[in-house]
Structure 1
Amino acid sequence: MSNAVQTEKEFSIDMIPEPENLEEIVYSLMVNPNLSTINYFNDFSDQGISPESIGESETDEIGIFELEGNGTRMAMSTHAFHHHLESDPQKATEILISRATRKMLCFGAQPFAVSAFLYHIDFADPNGQFIASGAKKGLENAAAKFGLKISDRKIRFDHFSEHGPVPPTIIISIMAQVPEGENLITHSFKNKGNHIFVIGRSLDDINSSEYLEFYHGISESPLPAFNIEDEIAVQKAIKTLIGKKLIESASPVGKGGLFFTLLRAAIPNELGFDITPDAETRNDAFLFGESMGRLIVGVNPDKEDEFVDAMSEINVPFFTLGHVTKGEIRIDDQSLGYIDKMTVGS
């Protein structure tokens, strides 16, 4: 693992040699607690954070509750972001809200409200006003693009510096309404033999990824590739597919990139996946990059033709990634073992 640290202006993906041993990267990243789905408030024990938590939750970080009296089900999730608020607060905020909204839509819930809390703004620093103003623009623009009401927004200034430098952070909460039970979609793969598709474009981008930060030790790089109009198109596509009941699972490509998104989908039902990377994209960017605007969906073979027809009408980029296996994980004909090997103690 490299200990090199680059600055944002200097960094380019060309500085990172394309890796030959994907298995080494996978098992190095497995110990990264940021890639585990953990609900801390459901467990007050003293047990340490473990990668065994990856993908355990069927709702994948989204809390569901029922309103008493009328049976309406609601969903809520909270997300935080600190990358580049000091240099590009508008884009950073738009990325955060896009991620949160896409996750809700993949679940089958319809987001309708967002609240935001901007933390650790230095009251004495002139850049504090720039961060607050940019985050406000990002919040308002993303809310308008995704049809969200802004329910609340607050800012917390730091008046003292004794605690040392603390990066500005924005925390947002998304509220959504959950449809009837039969329309509920979760991230987990359902059946061996289901086909796996990627919706959205793959790019040679590893910026601000866990792979770049944790494996290569490069903590400063630009924000991941992001275009809010592409995000809107992808989010409309997932709503259409769920409405037509053409998919059995859906996951936004998130932390850890495509590979760890697949892993979180495979673990709950002890399934695996056999995939072929895009030949036009670097393997590390394809598998571990965290560029925006991508989804992974599982499709029953009986509905594949309908799925392809629907996607052709939607006119959003998509491609076949592979299929769900009984438990083996294969990348480009290379076996990484079985799903039970992907947890601590295996």
Structure 2
Amino acid sequence: MSEVLNQETAFSIDSVPEPKDIENVIFSLMVNPNLSSINYFNDFSEVPISPDAIGAGDNDEIGLFDLDSNGSALAMSTHAFHHHLQNNPQKATEILISRATRKMLCMGVKPVAISAFLYHINFADPNGQNVASGAKKGLENAAQKFNLKISDRKIRFDHFSGHGPVPATIIISMIGTVENRETITTHALKKKGSNIFLIGHSVDDIGSSEYLEFYHGIADSPLPAFNINNEIQIHKALKELHQLNLLQSASPIGKGGLFFTLLRAAIPNGLGFDITTAAETRLDSFLFGEAMGRICVEIESDKEDEFVDIMSEQNIPFFTLGHVTKGEIRIDDESLGYIDKMTSGL
């Protein structure tokens, strides 16, 4: 455990060279299975898997279950995390639950309950007990902060006495409620010309990112930047934005960072995006970092002033990214081609 801690402490973003060719980074990461558009099965009977069928999915990881004919529904999602669970289980668990909560709130779903499962720990070993204890604290703290109910068994775990190099993993399932399915806000970009904003702090952080691990080959790095109190502020703002019907689409920054979050949002309707990056933030960090507490939102032009007023009133940082295009993808005035180029062969 101390070796992992020393590696985390020693890591510095300055030790990672900034790439000169962003397009090369993007197309290198496109072959990463975790970032491919084909990263889940829509239909197990479909062989081979159809990119068209998967790309058309509009709910992005959250399952919706109709309860009645009035539009009431349940939402459910499952998420897993293993980064630094051995040496910082509380923070790792809080990050995982924050991700799941933010995802549901982006859709306009009310998260209500959570259950957790620890996989590949040896409870007879002191380190296994530390992982279980820290994960339990993280679960309880995040549930209290986000007003979630926890299953009465708290965290269940399986016992492995000799699992070898397999890392300990925590898996959570979250359930939310939907009053009217027609009001769901999906992640998919909706309309050419709409404005795109980034809500939350932009920081120079690439810790535990797909970019750092897959492109640079660095597996040992700190957990992504995270502040649970910032999450609470953003959750509050999201709820108000939904109540005022200001969001056309909303996506939490997830795997692959901002760029791949936007790409996943662009695919369903064959749209693109034209964005400008922040000069004060490293380009690779801005595009591919996976720091917590950030959301991409799509706002119609005639609702922009109201959106800006709400963000300013709640003192929440936001950044004007750009706008939705008919299909072209542009970063800092440089064209990377069109959305069909980005998804061909996936």
Q: Unaligned regions of 5+ residues in structure 2, if any?
A: 1-5
2:41 corresponds to: 40
1:168 corresponds to: 168
1:111 corresponds to: 111
Q: Unaligned regions of 5+ residues in structure 1, if any?
A: 1-5
- Partners of 2:73 and 2:181 within 8 A in 1: no
| SS at structure 1 position matched to 2:150 | strand
2:324 corresponds to: 324
1:138 corresponds to: 138
What is the Cα deviation at residue 46 of structure 1? Answer: 5.1
- 1:322–1:71 CA distance, 2 compared to 1 (3 A): closer
2:23 corresponds to: 23
- 1:278–1:81 CA distance, 2 compared to 1 (3 A): same
Using the alignment, how far apart are the partners of 2:46 and 2:180 within structure 1?
Answer: 34
- 1:207–1:53 CA distance, 2 compared to 1 (3 A): farther
Using the alignment, how far apart are the partners of 1:197 and 1:70 within structure 2?
Answer: 33
- Partners of 2:111 and 2:177 within 8 A in 1: yes
What is the Cα deviation at residue 47 of structure 1? Answer: 3.7
| SS at structure 1 position matched to 2:270 | coil
Q: For residue 292 of structure 2, what is the amino acid of its counterpart?
A: M
2:102 corresponds to: 102
2:216 corresponds to: 216
How many pairs were matched up? 339
Q: For residue 280 of structure 1, what is the amino acid of its counterpart?
A: E
2:75 corresponds to: 75
| Seq. identity, % | 66
- Partners of 2:71 and 2:182 within 8 A in 1: no
Deviations 1:125-171 (A, max 9, x none): 2111110000000000000000000024343343431x522211100
Using the alignment, how far apart are the partners of 2:19 and 2:51 within structure 1?
Answer: 23
2:157 corresponds to: 156
| SS at structure 1 position matched to 2:156 | strand
| SS at structure 2 position matched to 1:17 | coil
- Partners of 1:118 and 1:155 within 8 A in 2: yes
1:295 corresponds to: 295
1:305 corresponds to: 305
What is the Cα deviation at residue 10 of structure 1? Answer: 2.4
Question: Which moves more between the two structures, 116-125 or 226-235?
Answer: 116-125
- Partners of 1:249 and 1:298 within 8 A in 2: yes
- 1:69–1:270 CA distance, 2 compared to 1 (3 A): closer
2:344 corresponds to: 344
- Partners of 1:117 and 1:170 within 8 A in 2: yes
- Partners of 2:42 and 2:54 within 8 A in 1: no
Using the alignment, how far apart are the partners of 2:64 and 2:54 within structure 1?
Answer: 19
TM-score (norm 2): 0.93
| SS at structure 2 position matched to 1:273 | strand
- Partners of 1:35 and 1:54 within 8 A in 2: no
1:123 aligns with 2:111: no
- 1:319–1:71 CA distance, 2 compared to 1 (3 A): closer
Using the alignment, how far apart are the partners of 1:338 and 1:218 within structure 2?
Answer: 31
Using the alignment, how far apart are the partners of 2:246 and 2:252 within structure 1?
Answer: 17
1:3 corresponds to: none
| SS at structure 2 position matched to 1:95 | helix
- Partners of 2:73 and 2:179 within 8 A in 1: yes
1:203 corresponds to: 203
- 1:159–1:312 CA distance, 2 compared to 1 (3 A): closer
What is the Cα deviation at residue 41 of structure 1? Answer: 6.3
What is the Cα deviation at residue 43 of structure 1? Answer: 2.1
What aligned pairs does 1:158-307 form with structure 2 within 5 A after superposition? 158-161=159-162, 163-307=163-307
| SS at structure 2 position matched to 1:84 | coil
- 1:159–1:337 CA distance, 2 compared to 1 (3 A): closer
What is the Cα deviation at residue 68 of structure 1? Answer: 4.8
Using the alignment, how far apart are the partners of 2:77 and 2:36 within structure 1?
Answer: 16
Using the alignment, how far apart are the partners of 1:147 and 1:58 within structure 2?
Answer: 27
Question: Which moves more between the two structures, 54-63 or 136-145?
Answer: 54-63
What is the Cα deviation at residue 294 of structure 1? Answer: 0.2
2:3 corresponds to: none
| RMSD (Å) for aligned C-alpha atoms | 1.9
- 1:99–1:54 CA distance, 2 compared to 1 (3 A): farther
